[in-house]
Structure 1
């Protein structure tokens, strides 16, 4: 029995080397330069707020929007939910694609934070507003998603 197992192992070692596909071919790609898909990437935040703070939440969102405009950063798409467990979905376009996930700092984020600090009246006040916002959030989930271009566009 031992001889049979060893013989089978030796045979498969020889075959394994001859038939091992290269990583490029294993992914059904031809050898050569890889081509990226045309996709737009988003960070999607799902937010559930504590009850009773709608007016102040709206005021903070207005400040965030002012910081978007002042910094030149794209405003997110905000969807207010009428059903389900979430109050809001916010789609932040990842300007630099999925590669943005690997950055320690983000140039757009830095520009936005500088504008927000100015609107808030300084870094200390901006941090207080961020903490206030966080106090209104009951729970939040963040996801990564992408969109394929529409051919008619």
Structure 2
């Protein structure tokens, strides 16, 4: 029993000695800005039962139409075929400082076009309220993607 305890203590001492030597050789991390990354806002939406078609109609007939007319970039949209969420919307951000805006210049242009298209801001807001009333639950995330060289994208490895 004493030999087992002595052996265990010896191994612990050796591990601590090698780790302390390793820690002394490591440099302090230096400030480094993320380069070649794109920031995204990702919104996941779960619609109320039976309301998916109406929500998609509002998106296509009102929101996308205003986006095309205002020449603002809309989100990439994906409809899930499994899982708890119905749709995912991904907006590409110019950079992380886009988060400093409550209403971005593109949002302002989009809302102006929505008001023009719908016949006034009160009617544009009514369309948005109608859409939001179809949403059961949603959540939002910030994500980052790293640019990949073309040869990596086409690699079969």
TM-score by length of 1: 0.74
* 1:93 maps onto 2:95 in alignment: no
Q: Give CA deviations for 1:31-63 in whole Å, capped at 9, x if unaligned.
A: xxx655121111100000001223321221111
Match of 2:68 in 1: 69
Cα deviation, residue 122, structure 1 = 1.0
Runs of 4+ off more than 3 Å: none
For 1:101 and 1:26, how far apart are their aligned partners in 2?
30
Q: Give CA deviations for 1:123-145 in whole Å, capped at 9, x if unaligned.
A: 01111111111110000001111
Which structure 1 residue ranges, 5 or more long, are not aligned?
1-24
Which structure 2 residue ranges, 5 or more long, are not aligned?
1-26
For 2:28 and 2:101, how far apart are their aligned partners in 1?
29
Secondary structure at the counterpart of residue 86 of structure 1 = coil
For 2:34 and 2:83, how far apart are their aligned partners in 1?
35
Secondary structure at the counterpart of residue 51 of structure 1 = coil
Q: Give CA deviations for 1:56-79 in whole Å, capped at 9, x if unaligned.
A: 212211111111111111121101
For 2:97 and 2:86, how far apart are their aligned partners in 1?
29
Secondary structure at the counterpart of residue 108 of structure 1 = helix
For 2:140 and 2:42, how far apart are their aligned partners in 1?
6
Cα deviation, residue 26, structure 1 = 4.7
For 2:28 and 2:96, how far apart are their aligned partners in 1?
23
Instruction: Give the aligned CA root-mean-square deviation in angstroms.
Output: 1.7
For 1:73 and 1:44, how far apart are their aligned partners in 2?
17
Match of 1:138 in 2: 136
* 1:41 maps onto 2:43 in alignment: no
